[in-house]
Structures are given as structure tokens and as C-alpha cells.
Structure 1
């Protein structure tokens, strides 16, 4: 099988969610041709498989071939974010910015890492700079909304999420963020409306079912609440979410 065939089959397996098969196919492709592109594809499959250590090795191998490969650097930064290694994530996104100071997405990613590292003031400044570069960047408005909410500036956050949706109505995240804020404000009708819109765009977003479960619970729609909480538990499997999973499991048990 040619390298082109292996890569094509690997992409098909990846798109179908068979990340293990994709990983095997990309490894076979690397036996014939070691390129930064194939190392990146392999790393992405390994990340989806939860093999973070292997992914780091693949990304390092790719960066040895092309130290200024922006796609590899983005993947590495995102991996550090997933591992909650925010300092290294910031440093990785800074490398992208050094290569191209006008790369607005990298500024936003840096802001997200700073926010997760509880450096909210710096995160806000970084994100606003990204929007100076590209005012139409929906990703940037959504991230700035998260930063404002973390700072307790709820109205400013809501405005950012609405602006993100004006720019890109196909992104489910602002809908779910707004649903949470409307829920906190006891506007259950709006909360459910935005939650349903977000989940209609991506039915695999676990937080949406958590919010929807509480919306139903507050309206005494007990069975719907249980169904949504159970769907949340099916989708949310990360170790970082153990505490909230335990809480939701306890709520379900109390409703039975």
C-alpha cells in the first residue's frame, strides 16, 4: 500500500472515530516517509486515544524536522492545555506569535491558557489584543466572554457571547455559555432555548446535558432531568471531571 493510500485510509479512520486504526496507519506511513505532516497526523490520533506521552514524542519528532511548523506548535500548545500545563502552553503559543505577530488565533489561545492559569488580567489584555488584530474573530469574542465571566463581569461576558454568535452562528459553545448564564439568572426559558440550540449543533457536548438536566430539574421534569444527567455521564469521562461526575451520580440516585 502506498503512503498516499495509508494516509487516506488513516484520515477516513480518524473521521469515523476509529483513532486506534488511524494511529496504526500513520505509523505505517512513517515507515516509508518521515515528514512533519505525518508526525502531526499521528500525534492527533494519539491525543484522541489518550496517549499523551506518545503524542509528545511525535510532536517533538515533527518539530525536529520543521521547528517553525505552526500546526505542530498549535497541537503542542493544545496538548499542554489538555494536560493543564498552562505555563508551557503559554510559551508554546508565544512561539507562534514570534513567528507571526498577526496570528490572532495564537493570541487567543495564549489568553485561554492565561485564563486557565488564573491570570485573568493578562488574559483579558491578550485577548483584546487578538481582537484588535481581527475584530471579526468569533473565537476571540467567545474567549473574552469566558474571561469576563471569570472576572464576575457577567453582562460584558454575555455581550461577547452574543457577538460571537453574530459572527459565527454555527459554533455551539457560545450558546451553551449563554445557557449557563441565563440559568444562573433564573431565566429558565432562555436557558433551555440556548442549550437546545447548542446541542443541536453538537450533540456530543457533555456540559450542555448537565445544564439541561438542572433546567429540567428546576421545573420538576424529573425524568427528563435524569435522562440528561445520564447522557452527561456517558459523554464526560475525563479524570478532571471526577468530582462533578460524582455529584451528578448522587443527584440521579436521589431522584430515583
Structure 2
């Protein structure tokens, strides 16, 4: 099956511009239509993404496999769709395939990390504390890998700070089976460091200033 390079709208999502991607994609429909992927299921998946229908997008993109199993962009769009469906476990596995094909795919590391973090903190989940701890540490590892590739993206530091904070909360909750004050303190310190890194990009961000204060309060009140 001939592989066609996905055009600008999908490259925008690859760069991790998720917050603005759908608006930009809508504006770019005509450009997208001018260079269509050779696989009809990929085209249907792209259209569903443009429509914001992540469930349909995932279904179409799955049908594009295994014909497109060597195309990291197709796997990325599938993982992106699964992530936005809340299918975090599936998204993690799909983003692993993206990374296997393209080890420097920053956005695949980013969304894989966010999926791990979301799984770890989902209310009412069936995971034990040990599994949650491993997910958070994996999220931190993936955010760190993304930072090693793209070091000037404030979003990566901010989300790694969140993962460190969540790890601090998990390990710093007294009475739990994996309580560890030393590790919790270290996690909070690293969260503070990452939040402060975000402020070097934009010192006026009140939300991040507040998160720095909260992380320090959590750290200083560990028992």
C-alpha cells in the first residue's frame, strides 16, 4: 500500500498543538482535501477527526491497519483518537507503535505520558497503588523523553510537573501501602522545579504561580 505523507493539519497535531488543532483543522479542510491519503479508511478517519468524532475516527483508522502498519502518522492519529475517547490503555499501546517507528516523535511521548497519568488518577479506578505509582513514573519518563527531543515546549514541563505532583500525592498519603515521605518530598520538589521552568517561558502565568505554592504546601505538610 502506497504511503502518502499527511498534510499540514495532521502535522499540527503531531507537534502537540492539541488545544487549537480542531479549530485549525476545520480551517484547513480544503488544503487537506487537495492531498488525500491513498487509503480510504485513513481518509474517513481524517474526516471524522475534522468533525470531532473521535469514536468514528478510531474505528476507521483501525480498519486502515495492517495495511498502514509502517506509517507512524496513521498510528498517531489512531492513538490521538483513542486518547480523546478515554481509551487510555489502548492509546498507550498505539503510541508505543508510533515511537517504535519514529523514536523522535515528541507528541507521541506526550500523549502516551498523559494517558498514563490519566489512568493513574482516574476516580473509581480498579488499579492498586503500586500500579498507579508505576504509571506515574512511566508518565514522567515519557515526558522527560519528549523534553530531551523538544526542550523549548512549556507544555511538556507543565505536564511533567503535574505527574510529579500526582506522584507526590500518591506516595505522601499516610496509611497507604506505598507511603514514602522521602520519595514524596522529592516528587514535590521536582514538581516545583518544573513549574518554575514553565514560568521562565511566561512569568505572568498566575495559574502556575498558584501551583508552585500548592506543591510547596503539600510538601511541607507531609507527615
Q: TM-score range by the shorter chain?
A: 0.5 to 0.7
RMSD of aligned residue pairs (Cα, Å): 3.7
Equivalent residue, structure 2, for 1:197:
145
The 3 A distance-change label for structure 1 pair 78 and 175 is closer
State which of 69, 75, 84 in structure 1 corresponds to 2:23: 84
Task: State the 1:163 CA deviation.
Answer: 0.7
The 3 A distance-change label for structure 1 pair 115 and 77 is closer
* Structure 2 gap ranges (5+): 13-19, 121-131, 169-183, 217-223
State which of 164, 186, 190 in structure 2 corresponds to 1:216: 164
The 3 A distance-change label for structure 1 pair 92 and 125 is farther
TM-score by length of structure 1 reads: 0.54
How many residue pairs were aligned? 173
Counterparts of 1:232 and 1:117, CA distance in 2: 32
Task: State the 1:213 CA deviation.
Answer: 0.7
Matches within 5 A, 1:29-44: none
Equivalent residue, structure 2, for 1:232:
198
State which of 110, 114, 128 in structure 2 corresponds to 1:180: 114
Equivalent residue, structure 1, for 2:38:
102
State which of 147, 157, 170 in structure 1 corresponds to 2:104: 170
Structure label with greater radius of gyration: 1
* Structure 1 gap ranges (5+): 1-70
TM-score by length of structure 2 reads: 0.61
Task: State the 1:82 CA deviation.
Answer: 5.5
Equivalent residue, structure 2, for 1:144:
78
The 3 A distance-change label for structure 1 pair 76 and 255 is closer
Equivalent residue, structure 1, for 2:154:
206
Task: State the 1:196 CA deviation.
Answer: 1.2
Counterparts of 1:143 and 1:200, CA distance in 2: 23
Of structures 1 and 2, the one with the larger relative CO (CA 8 A, separation 6+) is: 2
Equivalent residue, structure 1, for 2:32:
93
Which structure carries more helix by proportion? 1
Q: Any idea what SS the aligned residue of 1:210 has?
A: helix
Counterparts of 2:72 and 2:88, CA distance in 1: 18
The 3 A distance-change label for structure 1 pair 215 and 156 is closer
Counterparts of 2:10 and 2:100, CA distance in 1: 28
| Structure 1 residues 43-96: Cα deviation after superposition (integer angstroms, max 9, x where no partner) | xxxxxxxxxxxxxxxxxxxxxxxxxxxx9x9458878x6682443323320122
